[in-house]
Structures are given as C-alpha cells and as structure tokens.
Amino acid sequence: MKIYETKDIRNIALIGGAKSGKTTLAEDMLFEGGVINRRGSVDDKNTVSDYRPIEIERQNSISSTVLYAEFNGKKINIIDTPGFDDFIGEIDAALRVVDAAVMTVNAQNGVEVGTEIAWRYATKYKTPIIFTVNHLEHENSNFDETIRQLKTQFKGSLSVCQYPVNPGLGFNAVIDLLKMKMFKFSEGDKKPELVDIPDSEKSKAEELQGAMIEDLASSDESLMEIFFENGTLTEDEMKQALKVGLRDRELFPVFCINAKQNWGVCRVMEFISNNAPAPNEMPPAKTTEGKELKYDINEPTSALVFKSTIESHLGEISFFKVYNGEVAEGMDLINANNSTKERISQLFVMAGKNREKVSKITSGDIGAAVKLKNTHTNNTLNSPKVSDDIIEPIVFPAPKYRVAVGAKNLADEEKLNVILQTMHKMDQTLTVEYSKELKQLILGGQGELHLNIIKWQIENLEKILMEFYAPKIPYRETITRSAKATYRHKKQSGGAGQFGEVYMMIEPYTEGMEYTKEFPIRGTDEIELEWGGKLIMKNSIVGGAIDARFLPAILKGVMEKMEEGPLTGSYARDIVFYVYDGKMHPVDSNEISFKLAGRHAFKEAFKNAGPQILEPIYDVEVLVPEDRMGDVMTDLQGRRAIIMGMGAEGNYQKINAKVPLAEMNKYSTALSSLTSGRAMYSMKFAEYSNVPNDVQQQLLKEYEASQNEED
C-alpha cells in the first residue's frame, strides 16, 4: 500500500442503530475499495467486520472493527461500530479519532434508539455526519417519513442530496440532486446506469434541489449573495457549500442506499472522498497541557492508542491514530503514561482480521502495531523529543450495571481474575475490582447485555464456567450520641496471664466540632480512614492508670472493630473515642490484653451510642423522552429517589435525582423496559446518608441471621 499524505486521508465511523445495515455497508465499501473481491453477508456469517465468534453467533456487532479502503486516490479508514448502548465505549472511542461519521438509518423504522444514541455521541465530539437511508427495497420503507423524523428529532439542517424514485419492493433508482441525474441500479455488482431524470420526476427534483440550494446558500454569506444574484448555485458551488457545511456541522447530507445489493454505496464513497474533511481540516487535538497537535509531519511523533484487542496467533493489537509526525517500523517510542520504551517492530493496516503490512503510518492516519509490551487503550506514544506530552484521553462512561462474579470451580478463581483484568485493558467500560470490604469480585459494565456477552466469551472461549451474584452494598456504620463502656479482659491459664481494663467514652465526629470538656486531653491520634471519614483517639488518662505504651494497642483493637462494624460488619466511620481510665497488672498486662479490652469496650459503647447504618447515595441523571417521563418518575420514586430537579436537554427531558445504590440493582434493564430502550442514564457517587429505620431493622435482622448460619 502507498503512503498517503494527510490531505488524502479520510477517517469515518459507521454509526446507527442495530440492524440498520452498518456492517453490510462496510462490506460494500471494502468491495468498492478493492480490499475484497467478493462481498459477504451478515446472514451468511462471513463479513469482514463481524468476524468474532460471538458476533457470528448473534449476527450483531459487539465490538468496533477497524477497516480501510482506497478510493479515488484517497485512503478511507472505516470504523464499524455496534448499535447497542451496552457497547457505547466502542462508539465513544471511534468518534474520538474519526473526522466524520456515516449514520445509517433504517427506512422501515425511521429514527430508532440506536440512531438517537449515536447522534448524542457524535454531538459530544462535534463530529460531522452524513446520513445514509438504507433498506429502501423493503415493502414497509418510508423515505419521506424518515426524513421528517430526522428533521424533527435532530433539529439540524438536513440537505437531501438524493431521493428514491420508487421505494419499496420495486426500488431500483434514485434521483441525485447534486448531479441532477438518475442512478438506475440492476442486480449483482454491476455499476449503476447514470441517466437523465424522467419527465415524471423533473418537477419534484427541481423543487427539492431548490430547497437544498437554499439550505446550502444559507450556510455561507458569500454563497447567499451569489444565490440572491443568480437564483441558484453551480454544482461546484454546491459541493463547496456541502464541504464547509458538513465540516462545521451546519449541514447533514442525506444519501440513499440499498446496502444488501451494494446500490448507491459507490456514490457515498465518492462524496466522502471529495467532501468529508481530512484530519488537518478539523480542529486539532490537544494534550492534557493544552498543546495543539495539528497533524504536522515535521513535528515529533505523537499518537493515541484508541483501541486494543487480542487476536489468536497474533497477540495484542494496538490501534492508534497519529496526530503529529509519523510512526515507522523499527522506531522507538515512549509511552508517556508510564514512561516505558516501545519498539515498533511491525506495522499494519487492518481490515477486520485481515492485515496488510506497511512501512509507516503518517499524520492523520490510523494503523496498528502488535505485541507492544506496556501500552494499552488510552496511552500516548511519543517521540523521545516530546516524551511527556499526553494526548487528552478518551473519557469512557462509568459503569451503570454491577454484578458480583465468581468461578463455579474455585480452582479457576485466579485464572478468571487474570482474564477479566485482560478484558478490562481491551474494554475500558468494563471494570474489575475485588472489594476487600464486600469480599466479592465486582464486575461493572454498561448493561446486562454487556456483562452477559463477557460471560459468554469466558465460558465459550476460555472454558471457565462462572456465576453472577447480586453485589453487596458497601454500607457504613456510625453513632449519633455519646456513650460510655468499661471492659476488663482477664485470662489465667497457667504461667503468665492476661489482664487489661479500659474505660472508654465515644461520641460522633463532625468537622469543626468542640470536644467534650469532661476529660483532660493529654494526646490525640487522628486517622483518615481509607473508606472515608475519621477515627480520633483522645488520651485522657490521669495518674498513670494505663501505661502510655499500651495506648497503641487499644487503638489497634478499636480499628479492628471499625473494619468490621458491630451492626452489620460494615466499615464504621466518624467516631471520637476517649480512653479516660483503666487498670493494669504489674505482671499480666500486655499489648494483646489491652487490644482486646479496647476492642470490646468500643463494641459495647457503640451499641449504646444510637448506632446508625449509612448507605451510599448516588447522583443519577436520566435523559428520557417526554412521553415516558411519568413512568420513569414513578419508578424512581419507588426506588426511594429524591428528585432534585428536571429540565429539557435537546429533545429529551432530564431528571436529576439522588438514589440509594441499594435500589439501583438492574436499573439499566428496568429503564430500558420502561422506555423501549430510548432513555439513557448516568450515575456517580454523591454521599453517605442515614438509611430509614425500617431498612435498618431489616439489615440488622439479615446480618444476625447470617451470623447464626455461620455459627
């Protein structure tokens, strides 16, 4: 393959709803670009893009696939993305590195959930969009209704560049309003026939072209002047307006295709090669320090790894986009995130699992390297001259769905954990964390489907059977008032015995509080607890009742009970305790005696100090269609949510609420069911708050029952 200059590179993502035809469109583009000589199909399970076992079985994309085609002297890098929200991380990463997107829309269904989701993320990255209306050959296709929905839903200036002459079962022709010609298609992979517009369509074509020209002219002041002067625009002026309007997201061109028959795809690729922005025509990427990367071949190399995957017989593949300079075989680069050196031994351009070896990848281009030792998704690779520059990373969405996970065979636990950690490197929307507090391995993802796919892959490809469990909730325990307790630890069993007696008072800790004046303060130990909150010990011993050397042992005993709270075994927090008296034995007193005495005194005082269980509260933001607001609000209130506010965001209503984590189990599934998949939500930790009394009593009963079972 020749080395392409930045101006001759086009980076696009194929986005849209599931079953809208993205993978079939990708197959057509590879065929038109000469990468393959025969088109596969999703039904026959032999497409270049959906080649992974799970995708072949489900006949759906679950991971993005990096592809390429050469067309009209341009290299078009193509990233085929999934259509489900559960795999939004794949769409997120793709849109971060491309310069335009092709949105496929199913003419039978119009604007679908996947269309809305893809639009939101394209808007986030300000990605130019070209619409392709697909499935026009189906009986239920409705082009006019699809256009109406697009205009209503997205409020953008749609430029209808083509319309179908006869959508439905007989579909075989489109009118091109830029060329003012008709494309007539025939079966097979024959080139379409370009003919004059029939008399029966001329008036409609002229009317639609007039509307398109007005839209184009309104996007540019100089063109508006030309339009007022001449009453129209030339084809070249229309092309220029489309190029600028597309780049600036002021215009969204619409084309017609039948991806299954490869009808209209060549025209779309022609438009992409001529009108889609090159990388250096888009706003430059930035480093975390604000430095702009302008795709300058003469600058030191900087590249971002936006995707990692593992292929059998090849190992880990790192997909990257070059933002400055070039990446060449044999080059030594520095991973700016961990300061390690990477040797680029082999470079490829990829088309699914197929690869072509190349000598270098230049600015603006996308390539792949294999077997990098310490480089994964979101890492920056630099020339040693700019080794500290880190390209702004992709911000992946936080997990929305959590499960506890374990291997059915205990002997596989360690292997399972290693596999999950490796999968996290490939998919950063998947989180894996062993909770020492909950004693569970917690898996986080974007939804139930996301984690079920992970389970399928591990069980079918790695041959490890695994189970999902409801995750425990990381409650906290604290107190609401002061209380005193005394505990004497005494043990005699021949020889040296054990003796320690501790008098203790505890009280709630609050920021800026005034400590009790009941006892003198001779020393303070303040501990910032790793699980949040504080533990403060006040030494109030007078007259040497307890030797100072035993105070650390008392603190250690209290800390042990803080790590396993008296109510439910959860972490305790925000407590001040005073050791104000006690007794020692000249022979039998030792550290273990005072550790146990301190532990038990604290436990007794805790139970009498108005103990309170705290639960984690999350800020939840839900974007929901207006017609489903009532159902979603009712469901949230049933989850003990406190609604903090509501407002409009685009075509959606936004609900902000505080919701206990305990009530969010499987919320993504419930929300999808309530809104037919049209709503989205995000959540982040807000605070710990008191659980209601009835919930606390239930938790106490459950903990007591579990302790009895263990006994």
> Mind listing the pLDDT tens digit for each residue in 78-126?
999 998 888 999 999 999 999 999 999 999 999 888 898 899 899 999 9
In the predicted structure, residue 257 carries a pLDDT above the cut 80 = yes
- Specify the pLDDT at position 708: 72
Q: Which two tokens stand for residue 382?
A: 């630099």
Q: Helix 629-637 crosses helix 667-675 at what angle (to 10 degrees)?
A: 150
In the predicted structure, residue 366 carries a pLDDT above the cut 60 = yes
**How confident is the model over 297-324, as pLDDT tens digits?**
999 999 999 999 988 777 889 999 999 9
Once rounded to an integer, what is the mean pLDDT over residues 430-441? 92
Query: Could you identify the residue written with the tokens 């560049």?
Result: 161
The 3-class secondary structure across 583-613, one letter per residue, is ECCCCCCCHHHHHHHHHHHHHHHHHCCCCEE
**How confident is the model over 10-58, as pLDDT tens digits?**
999 999 988 899 999 999 999 999 999 999 888 888 999 988 888 888 8
- Residue extent(s) of CATH 3.40.50.300 domains in the chain: 7-279
- Specify the pLDDT at position 709: 66
Once rounded to an integer, what is the mean pLDDT over residues 198-219? 89
Q: Which two tokens stand for residue 296?
A: 């300058």
Local confidence band at 710 (pLDDT 50, 70, 90 cut-offs): low
CA quadruple 22, 26, 28, 30: dihedral, nearest 10:
180
Once rounded to an integer, what is the mean pLDDT over residues 536-540? 96
Once rounded to an integer, what is the mean pLDDT over residues 497-508? 95
In the predicted structure, residue 152 carries a pLDDT above the cut 60 = yes
In the predicted structure, residue 375 carries a pLDDT above the cut 60 = yes
Amino acid at 55: E
State the number of CA atoms in the 13 A half-sphere of 416 facing the CB: 26
- Residue extent(s) of CATH 3.30.70.240 domains in the chain: 613-695
Local confidence band at 240 (pLDDT 50, 70, 90 cut-offs): confident
**DSSP helix/strand/coil, 42:** coil
Q: Which two tokens stand for residue 58?
A: 């489900």
Of the chain, the end-to-end C-alpha distance in Å amounts to: 71
**In this structure, are strands 252-256 and 129-134 parallel, antiparallel, or unpaired?**
parallel
- Specify the pLDDT at position 660: 96
Q: Which two tokens stand for residue 73?
A: 């002297």
- Residue extent(s) of CATH 2.40.30.10 domains in the chain: 287-386
* 433 phi/psi in degrees, rounded to 5: -150, 130
Q: Are 178 and 238 in contact (CB under 8 A)?
A: yes
- Specify the pLDDT at position 505: 97
In the predicted structure, residue 466 carries a pLDDT above the cut 90 = yes
The 3-class secondary structure across 402-429, one letter per residue, is EEEEEECCHHHHHHHHHHHHHHHHHCCC
Nearest to 623 by CA among 10, 85, 45, 75: 85
Which CATH superfamily does the domain covering 7-279 fall into?
P-loop containing nucleotide triphosphate hydrolases (3.40.50.300)
Q: Are 83 and 14 in contact (CB under 8 A)?
A: no
Lowest mean pLDDT among 322-326, 493-497, 655-659: 493-497
- Specify the pLDDT at position 204: 95
Rounded CA separation 62/43 (Å): 16
In the predicted structure, residue 220 carries a pLDDT above the cut 80 = no
- Specify the pLDDT at position 603: 95
Rounded CA separation 343/306 (Å): 18
- Specify the pLDDT at position 331: 95
* 376 phi/psi in degrees, rounded to 5: -140, -175
Chain centre distance of CA 412:
28
Q: Are 426 and 377 in contact (CB under 8 A)?
A: yes
- Specify the pLDDT at position 494: 66
- Specify the pLDDT at position 532: 92
Q: Which two tokens stand for residue 486?
A: 């005394």
CATH class of the domain comprising 613-695: alpha beta
- Specify the pLDDT at position 187: 83
In the predicted structure, residue 385 carries a pLDDT above the cut 90 = no
CATH class of the domain comprising 287-386: mainly beta
Q: Which two tokens stand for residue 4?
A: 């392409």
162-164, strands of its sheet edge to edge: 162-164, 173-176, 181-184, 193-195
What count of other Cβ atoms lies within 10 Å of the Cβ of residue 39? Answer: 20
Rounded CA separation 339/342 (Å): 10
Cα 253 to Cα 79, 102, 261, 493, distances in angstroms: 20, 10, 22, 89
The dihedral through the CA atoms of 663, 668, 674, 675 has a sign that is positive
Q: Are 311 and 317 in contact (CB under 8 A)?
A: yes
Question: 313's torsion region: left (phi>0), alpha (psi -120 to 50) or beta?
Answer: left
CATH class of the domain comprising 477-604: alpha beta
Which CATH superfamily does the domain covering 401-472 fall into?
Elongation Factor G (Translational Gtpase), domain 3 (3.30.70.870)
Nearest to 89 by CA among 120, 123, 63, 53: 63
Query: Burial code of 19-37, b = ≥16 C-beta within 10 A, e = fewer?
Result: bbbbbbbbbbbbbbbebbe
Once rounded to an integer, what is the mean pLDDT over residues 206-231? 83
Whole-model pTM: value is 0.86
- Specify the pLDDT at position 711: 52
Percentage of the chain surpassing pLDDT 70?
99
Give the mean pLDDT of the chain: 92
